[in-house]
């Protein structure tokens, strides 16, 4: 099969061909992010290591702390196929090869930096030495310990805050106040730690400004993805796994809002003109679980060679808009309310139906985006997104007869990946999808 993908410096195909012009601009934004960190460090301004989805993004922006998103950097290294040297270094320093690939890449980078006495040759100049590090319990356990483990390589103040949500069967009216209060206090502790570390106080008016910009950006991003329901699909997941970057790593920045304004306009025009991702869209796929294989994103184009387009995705997706009560006048408390409402958005619906909010999300997407097949990615080093995948698939299939495929590799580590196995599995899966959709 033809893979219309340009190789990286070493000639290896990695990235997916983009359908939209806007998505192609993300690489420049990524360079800008790391460039800002290098510039800030040179000017004596604070730089922080941070973790995506930890609810403190707007706080850092409001305090003029330049964040370095360590998970994003690991993904960049994987896309450039230069991560292996960092993985090997981390393992040589005693970290198991089943620990998160993001973590091992980050710790390996730091280990080499200490060993060499300088930043190793790395994409975009590498990660600057941070002034503070903010861990988090959100999503998985390694994020709580990662930055503490960095203490083997440098002495940088670390604070890890707790992000908890109630179980699905909880009575939200009874537990809501407790959980929101707990989340708010954790974020206030992040503020106190940051203020003490950099010697500067948070301006709450400034934080409100950043939050409003962030919310506007998130809403526009979400509206853009509603346009992907069109047939033919105007924008594939190969574009999404670039286009999510401003939404996740540039929250509260005007550049992020400008990006989604441009993306919305382009996708809307593609819908109006019935511009398709490929000449003949036969099947509509969903990325239904797991983090993507950053080292092998051309895989999306391999599906397209068979007429299959990924029209929607559950990973790194925008949040649906929520309305925080107007009585909330403290911006930090607003962040806690927003996080709680986003996380529990489908709890009541799940109680009435499947019992699982993730199942409810996939069922909505299958219906709204007219999905013909689901693809999941199991990774040995990411338990948080892998454990329960097959159970989730089986639960979904109780309600809709949509074929599903689970591919296995890793988010970073190429040693857990077989191109031949993947192609064989994809070929067989698409035959199943075709059988389930005769006449396409």
What pLDDT shows up at residue 439?
A: 72
Range of the domain at 425: 23-436
Strands in 87-181 per DSSP E: 132-136, 158-161
Is 200 among the domain residues? yes
Whether 139 and 383 have beta carbons less than 8 Å apart is answered as no
pLDDT of residue 139: 85
pLDDT of residue 12: 64
Count the domains in the chain.
1
**Is residue 7 a part of any domain in this protein?**
no
- Low-confidence residues of the chain: pLDDT under 70: 1-13, 440
| 12 domain-assigned | no
Residues in the chain: 440
- Give the Å distances, CA to CA, from 238 to 197, 234, 339: 40, 12, 27
Residue 83 in any domain: the answer is: yes
- Please report whether residue 312 resides in a domain: yes
User: Who contacts 333 (Cβ-Cβ below 8 Å, separation ≥6)?
Assistant: 180, 184
The H or E element that residue 436 is part of is helix 419-436
CA 383 – CA 174 distance, rounded (Å): 31
Query: According to the model, what pLDDT value does residue 58 have?
Result: 98
The whole-number pLDDT of residue 141 equals 84
In a domain, 9, yes or no: no
- Predicted pLDDT at 123: 97
- pLDDT (0 to 100) of residue 53: 85
Q: How far apart, in whole angstroms, are the C-alpha atoms of residue 101 and residue 104? A: 5
Evaluate whether residue 120 is within a structural domain: yes
pLDDT of residue 380: 86
What are residue 66's DSSP bridge partners?
A: 47
């Amino acid at each position: 099969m033809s893979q219309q993908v340009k190789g990286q410096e070493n000639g290896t195909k990695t990235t997916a061909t983009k359908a939209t012009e806007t998505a192609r601009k993300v690489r420049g934004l990524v360079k800008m992010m790391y460039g800002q960190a290098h510039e800030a460090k040179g000017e004596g301004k604070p730089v922080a290591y941070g973790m995506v989805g930890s609810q403190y993004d707007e706080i850092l922006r409001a305090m003029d702390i330049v964040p370095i998103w360590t998970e994003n950097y690991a993904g960049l290294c994987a896309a450039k196929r230069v991560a292996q040297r960092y993985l090997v270094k981390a393992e040589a320093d005693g970290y198991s090869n089943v620990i998160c690939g993001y973590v091992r890449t980050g710790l390996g980078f730091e280990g080499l930096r200490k060993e060499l006495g300088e930043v190793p040759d790395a994409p975009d100049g590498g990660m600057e030495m941070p002034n503070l590090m903010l861990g988090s319990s959100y999503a998985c356990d390694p994020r709580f310990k990662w930055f503490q483990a960095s203490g083997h390589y440098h002495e940088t103040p670390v604070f890890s805050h707790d992000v908890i949500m109630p179980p699905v069967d909880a009575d939200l009216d009874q537990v809501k106040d407790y959980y929101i209060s707990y989340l708010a206090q954790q974020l206030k502790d992040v503020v106190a730690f940051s203020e003490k570390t950099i010697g500067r106080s948070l301006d709450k008016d400034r934080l409100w400004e950043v939050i409003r910009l962030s919310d506007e950006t998130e809403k526009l991003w979400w509206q853009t993805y509603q346009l992907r329901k069109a047939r033919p699909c105007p924008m594939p997941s190969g574009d999404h796994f670039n286009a999510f970057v401003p939404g996740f790593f540039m929250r509260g920045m005007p550049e992020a809002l400008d990006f989604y304004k441009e993306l919305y306009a382009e996708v809307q025009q593609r819908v109006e003109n019935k511009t398709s991702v490929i000449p003949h869209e036969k099947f509509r796929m969903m990325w239904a679980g797991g983090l993507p294989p950053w080292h092998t994103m051309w895989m999306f184009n391999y599906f397209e060679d068979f007429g299959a387009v990924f029209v929607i995705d559950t990973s790194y997706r925008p949040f649906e808009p929520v309305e925080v009560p107007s009585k909330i006048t403290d911006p930090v408390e607003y962040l806690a309310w927003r996080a709680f409402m986003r996380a529990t958005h489908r709890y009541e619906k799940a109680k009435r139906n499947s019992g699982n909010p993730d199942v409810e999300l996939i069922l909505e997407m299958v219906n709204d985006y007219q999905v013909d097949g689901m693809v999941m990615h199991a990774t040995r080093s990411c338990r948080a997104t892998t454990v329960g995948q097959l159970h989730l698939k089986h639960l979904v299939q109780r309600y809709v007869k949509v074929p599903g495929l689970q591919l296995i590799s890793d988010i970073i580590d190429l040693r857990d990946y077989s191109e031949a196995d993947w192609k064989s599995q994809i070929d067989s899966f698409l035959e199943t999808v075709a059988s389930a959709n005769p006449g396409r």
